[in-house]
């Protein structure tokens, strides 16, 4: 059970990291368009 919990938390962190990358990329593109 503990192992599954660690796996889930690791997966969540990976998912959050992906969202963060997409968010940063979108902001960068948006800023580039304004310039």
Whether the pLDDT of residue 35 is over 90: the answer is no
Q: Angle at the Cα of 15 (from 30 to 34), degrees rounded to 5?
A: 5
pLDDT of residue 12: 83
Alpha helices in 1-35 (DSSP H): 2-34
pLDDT digits (tens, 9 = 90+) for 5-34: 777 788 888 889 999 999 999 999 988 887
Radius of gyration, alpha carbons of the chain: 15
């Amino acid at each position: 059970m503990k192992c599954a919990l660690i796996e889930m938390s690791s997966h969540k962190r990976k998912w959050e990291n992906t969202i963060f990358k997409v968010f940063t990329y979108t902001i960068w593109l948006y800023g580039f368009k304004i310039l």
